[in-house]
Amino acid sequence: MSRTTSALTRKALGNASPGRFAARLIGVRKSHRTPGGPAVEALRGVDLAVPTGTMVAVIGPSGAGKSTLLHCAAGLTPADSGGIHVGETSLSTLNERALTRLRRDRIGLLLPGFDLVPALTVRENITLPVDLAGRGRVDAGWSNRVITAFGPANRLDRRPRELTPGERRRAACARALIGRPEILIADEPTAGLDTRAADEVLALLRLAVSDMGRTVLTATRDPYVASRADIVVFLGDGRVLDRLSAPDQHEVLLRMRRSESAAPARHRRAER
């Protein structure tokens, strides 16, 4: 993206009318500092808009900055510079307490390592966030919809170890949806699953958008997963390299290859 286009994109994103976007990142930069080592620039000025009621997939190779982007969008990691908005709220205006409340009330998280609690049943796992936050915050109708969306009713009173890996991931997905979040942020939601199980998880994410009116921001390395999104954003070396609407898998693969071959040249230019 040229400097002028990027500046225009930032202006457009910054002026976006309220409600149109569930999340916006405007010129976000983020470096990771390691003790004694050089800082790693994970995001180098990322502009990204996630339209309300869509599924947006960020795709890129390992180290492209996908997880850092998702963590910044979720308010889990502060950006070094740039703007991050969830709905109309600018994260930089929030203190730690308000940020915690925003994450609890408005964002659903499906992140690696967010495993189910082994001692609880599937139903208890799914409703855990609302039970911890205090009953009554979410209406029974919504809870029932989410529990039904998880899938087989006869699995609800089982422990996580009795489920298939796909069912466990779907339960984690339902748990992320139970608080009726404006946006569900899912990092590699199908990682480690076979095609069938991955399809079941993707079906639930699609349902969250089409039937439940949620917005999904996800990250993946898998072109098939990305092709199930409404918009695909290609990330490489901490930059947005390309975007694609209404993707098909073949086109995602083509653009991935194109982005990957363009990235080193871009990188070389930036270092001069």
The verdict on 66 binding ligand ATP (CB under 6 A) reads yes
Choices 59-67, 101-109, 210-218, 246-254; region in contact with ligand ATP by CB under 6 A: 59-67
Question: Toward ligand ATP, which CB reaches closer, 76 or 120?
Answer: 76
Cα separation, 245 vs 233, in Å, equals: 9
Out of 40, 128, 133, 253, the residue judged to bind ligand ATP by CB under 6 A: 40
The verdict on 247 binding ligand ATP (CB under 6 A) reads no
The verdict on 220 binding ligand ATP (CB under 6 A) reads no
The verdict on 67 binding ligand ATP (CB under 6 A) reads yes
Out of 49, 56, 64, 226, the residue judged to bind ligand ATP by CB under 6 A: 64
Out of 42, 205, 229, 240, the residue judged to bind ligand ATP by CB under 6 A: 42
Choices 10-18, 56-64, 135-143, 255-263; region in contact with ligand ATP by CB under 6 A: 56-64
The verdict on 62 binding ligand ATP (CB under 6 A) reads yes
Question: Toward ligand ATP, which CB reaches closer, 67 or 259?
Answer: 67
231 Cβ contact list (under 8 Å, min separation 6): 51, 54, 55, 56, 57, 243, 244, 245, 247
The verdict on 32 binding ligand ATP (CB under 6 A) reads yes
Out of 45, 65, 87, 189, the residue judged to bind ligand ATP by CB under 6 A: 65
Q: How far is the CB of 176 from ligand ATP (least distance, A)?
A: 18
Total residues interacting with ligand ATP, rule: CB under 6 A? 13
The verdict on 215 binding ligand ATP (CB under 6 A) reads no
Residue ranges that bind ligand ATP, judged by CB under 6 A: 32, 34, 40, 42, 60, 62-68, 221
